[in-house]
Amino acid sequence: MANVKIPIHNRSIKTRKKSLMDWEIPEIEKKKILRFLEELELGKVNLGKKISEGRQSKYLDLLRVPFEIINKPCEKITVLDIEFFERDLSSGKIKSNKKEPYSLNTKVDMRRALKIYLKWRLGEVKAKELAGWLDTKDVRVTPDYLSEVEITKLYKHCKSANERFLIAVLFDAGARAEEFHNIRYEDVQLPKEKESYVKLTIKEEYSKTLGRTISLYWKYSLEAVADYIKERERDGIKRNEPIYNISYDATRKFLQRLGKKVLGKSLHYHLFRHSSATYYAPKLNRQQLCIRYGWKFSSEMPDTYISRAGVDSKEIDEKFTQTEMGDLKVDNTKLKQELEIGKERQNNLEFELDALKKSVKSLLEVAKEK
Give the pLDDT score at 316. Answer: 41
- pLDDT (0 to 100) of residue 60: 94
Q: Could you tell me the strand order of the sheet in which 188-189 lies?
A: 188-189, 198-202, 212-216
The closest alpha carbon to 64, from 119, 106, 25, belongs to 25
Dist. CA 111–CA 127, nearest whole Å: 12
- Within a 10 A sphere around the Cβ of 130, how many other Cβ atoms? 22
pTM, whole model, 2 decimals? Answer: 0.70
The continuous run of DSSP H or E covering 360 comes out as helix 311-369
Biggest CA–CA distance in the chain, Å, is: 140
Contact present, 99 and 55 (Cβ < 8 Å): no
- List, for residues 101-145, the tens digit of each pLDDT value: 998 989 999 999 999 999 999 999 999 999 999 999 987 777 789
pLDDT of residue 327: 58
Please, which residues have CB within 8 angstroms of residue 284's CB and are 6 or more apart in sequence?
Answer: 292
Specify the pLDDT at position 189.
94
Q: Point out which residues pair with 199 in neighbouring strands.
A: 189, 215
Alpha carbons 83 and 63: distance in angstroms, whole number: 16
Residues of the chain where predicted confidence (pLDDT) is lower than 70: 1-2, 10-11, 209, 308-345, 347-348, 351-352, 355, 360, 363, 366-370
Residue 37 is predicted with a pLDDT of 95
Task: State how far Cα 337 lies from the chain centre.
Answer: 53
Give me the pLDDT at residue 204, please.
79
Enclosing H/E stretch for 215: strand 212-216
Domain ranges of the chain: 13-131, 148-309
**Confidence at residue 313, expressed as pLDDT on a 0 to 100 scale:** 44
CA atoms of 65 and 222, how far apart (whole Å) = 47
Cα distance between residue 151 and residue 272, in whole Å: 9
In the DSSP assignment, the letter for residue 267 is: -
Q: According to CATH, what is the number of the domain 148-309?
A: 1.10.443.10
